Structure 1
Amino acid sequence: MPIWLLGAFVVVGLIAIWVAMRFYGYDKPLTLDEDAARREFMADNPGLEPDDIRMAKTGQAALVRANGNLHVLWVMGQDVATHVLDAPQIIPTNSGLVLTLRDFAAPRVKLELAPDEASTWTALIEKT
């Protein structure tokens, strides 16, 4: 197969994937409510039942208390990630908070929060 034909197949395939993602709405980030956050947390942490969930107004993050520990849940595209908050460094920003975690998989988490939420979340995180 000539290289130009292979290149054309690749380009057309990528464009078709992009169009399909736009058509089905997969180009927009996931937005959570409390029930969706509960389901996603339990799927990410089998065996843990959330005791309390505090959602961000944006629907892009949540603080989850489960089994005596505080976890942060945040949206990454169409999926979520959760991590236990074990003495994170909290850096306030204009758009929310940046948490520096002791986890090589997610060393920094940027949370988009309203100013009043940022102060509340900082107090909740520092309390644990």
Structure 2
Amino acid sequence: MPLEILLILVIGGISAIAIVLHLTGRSERAILHPETLQAAWLRHFPEDHVMGTLLARDCHAALVETQSGPGLIWALGADTVGRHLRGYEIDEVTGGLTITFHDFTAPRVTLRLDPDEAPIWQQRLARA
């Protein structure tokens, strides 16, 4: 098979898969619910015991209090990412906060928070 035809088939196939996933709703960001937040955290850290949570109003991020210290879970596409809060920096940006981790697997996350919500998160993160 000529390379040109193979290239067209590969690009067309990948594009078709992306379009089908988007049209069926599989490209939407994960929404964290108070009832499922603990299970989402335990999927990342099964040995932790969740003692409390603070869910963002947009339901795409949450602070998690565990016996091993605080953590952050956020939506990354249709899945979630969880990190213990050890070694990080907080920067206030328009519309929320940016947290820079000292971790190459998740170097930075920008949390979209309401203006009255950001100070509460900053206070909780400062105590972490």
Bigger shift: 92-101 or 12-21?
Answer: 12-21
In 1, the alpha carbon distance for the partners of 2:116 and 2:51 equals: 23
Q: Which runs of 5+ in 1 are unaligned?
A: none
In 2, the alpha carbon distance for the partners of 1:13 and 1:26 equals: 17
In 2, the alpha carbon distance for the partners of 1:21 and 1:92 equals: 34
Secondary structure at the residue paired with 2:26?
coil
With structure 2 as the length reference, what TM-score do the two structures score? Answer: 0.91
- Percent identity reads 28
In structure 1, the partner of 2:114 is: 114
Q: CA deviation at 1:28?
A: 1.3
Paired amino acid for 1:65: E
In 1, the alpha carbon distance for the partners of 2:25 and 2:123 equals: 36
In 2, the alpha carbon distance for the partners of 1:47 and 1:16 equals: 40
Bigger shift: 111-120 or 18-27?
Answer: 18-27
Judge conservation of contact 2:48–2:68 (CA < 8 Å) in 1. Answer: no
Bigger shift: 10-19 or 35-44?
Answer: 10-19
In structure 2, the partner of 1:56 is: 56
In structure 2, the partner of 1:92 is: 92
Q: CA deviation at 1:87?
A: 4.9
In 1, the alpha carbon distance for the partners of 2:59 and 2:116 equals: 15
Runs of 4+ that moved beyond 4 A: none
Q: Which has the higher helix share?
A: 1
Secondary structure at the residue paired with 1:21?
helix
Report the aligned-residue RMSD: 1.5
In structure 1, the partner of 2:8 is: 8
Aligned CA distance change for structure 1 residues 6 and 97 (closer, same or farther; 3 Å):
same
Q: Deviations over 1:69-93 (max 9, x none)?
A: 1101111111111111125321111
